[in-house]
Chains A and B, each alone.
Chain A
């Protein structure tokens, strides 16, 4: 994987999120530097997904701000989005398209990089499934296809909501290797997971939203 040239850090300042009159979290502070990972833990409904959506800019925080470099992400707009890729709990792939067609679309929406779409599929262990309709893939394979979207654009920040859902042991280790390679190359990752996230070569900070 080629080295990522980004040096900006993602930081949260006094973040606050209220949902249905319930305070999910408040005064949340962290700083995510290039080359490191942030693992969000907490019980169901503790606001992990909400926090990730705030980090993407899909949802606005009820207080505080998220900055990229030194600028708030809502001011940066496309200049932030071009550095960021998000895989939510919905896969964001079309079941009636083939994996290749899905990746072509994902690539067109962002900043394309040099990797071929076939190589991206190979990296998530989907070689040979290029022309099968996504509908006919298993849940775990569909999940891996969603994660392959991360590889086809040039982004430094990956925001992942439960990336290991429906993956088997082998699938998890394949994805963990990808994540490790991404941070080693200077990228950064914000991830929620019920599974232990095993990143050997990465500085990992953990935040537990339940406490």
Chain B
């Protein structure tokens, strides 16, 4: 993206002024290098988002943004239902409520090192990953609907977890307003045997060491010390979310002209929030959020079982669970007025600052944990909602470094075995069903996580708390 075509607001904040059909400006976060590296398609896509009915404030682009579907990945936009605002299936994406949860283990690196290989093998054997894997549970129609309504709370009732977990999940583990009846039989069928599975692509389970602490107060509140071992799980609503995304994208694309909506890109398929289709999508999407929360809860249970085999006294307390592909109803202040808006975050996480009423009590004083995912060999990061006033990007932050090279380019440059061996040399164990999948996900195929984290920190989207370095990575 050519930064000279943007209006510079600061060294790490740029504005695309409204032109053509844009109803609001777009704000792009990142230094000149990061923004310069973004594809031109990101500018085109965020300009399209800014033209959608009922958009308020501005459309926002996170420092890790890249070319997506309709919305850029790393795009944030809010819509007011009273001003004809829309909800967009494309704006949430196929992997509804994809997210990251991080679990404290109470262990130190020195505890884990002696059994690292065995631990990696056990995690790989017990946590289904990749295409063709099956979960250990199959849901019948009644359980399916209960899961779609109950989220992580449902998983708890099935014995997967402890009550304290729910306080450490967005929406307390259960998204209200879910409508299992709005979810098609096809979507439910696709999910029947996929509960507790990681999926593939960039999804992973990683055992990590807290390598650096940037903010002692927040780190202490989060229970993090340098040298501690944590587990991070990155996955979403699996086949159910994919099918809901597929079906509603089609229905909204076909219905758009009748709803008076001009779609500059079919992938922006959307419907007015105040319409039967918009409401039905919201009900189905919220059910998919519950599916993702239940899925990560079950994987947490499987992880705990493996860890307690090697470390019988380990408790594995949940730090937090955040989703980064969602549309949520929230209060935000715009031009001095509180407004109830529908915030789309596509490849962006919520980042509530200190004192936000929706935060768990444990985080009220410091703000919400924000997780920035790495890529096998590279650091991940834990940040905290900064609480800047006015809040930037509807209290959102980035979610992980985007790709630098396509899967094809990565395959030309690396072999899976070579990546696994190089990482093993650095003390990082990779377990994956596919050598080609590892090559496609090679750390070098991704942008620099540290630069993305720095940009989020300096622009006030979130504040740095701790860096995590990988020890074991289970790839789907």
A in complex with B: no
Which residues of A approach B to under 8 Å, CB–CB?
Answer: none
